[in-house]
Structure 1
Amino acid sequence: MTKVEFKTNTGVLLLITIQRNNGEISFGSVAYDTQNNKVGRIDQRGLLYARVNNNAGKLTVK
């Protein structure tokens, strides 16, 4: 048996359907919180999978 240590992310898990006025968000786009930390990505179905530390706030997808 080998002991392995690794960092895990904690917080609130979000799964959000996101659309732009002119179409879908690009696969692989990254979501950032208000401190510009990467918190998630857009999957091939246009869903945002993110983990955030607060129950309220603003996310930016680039």
Structure 2
Amino acid sequence: MAQLVDTAQQMARIKLEVALPPRWSHIQAVAAKACHIAAAVPKEDRDILVAAAWLHDVG
């Protein structure tokens, strides 16, 4: 499932890094926090949590 997180990160980077640098910084911070707290959720849900953090402002 790590591929899920990698794909989410790449998508967020493509959509936001150049077009919206402040939003990209925010997304990176949220994803880092999600990684930090991931141990609080069941193991099978951790990648989903982190992927959602990467994608929460893409759209």
Q: What range is the shorter-chain TM-score in?
A: under 0.3
More strand by share: 1
TM-score by length of 2: 0.28
Give the number of the structure whose alpha-carbon radius of gyration is greater: 1
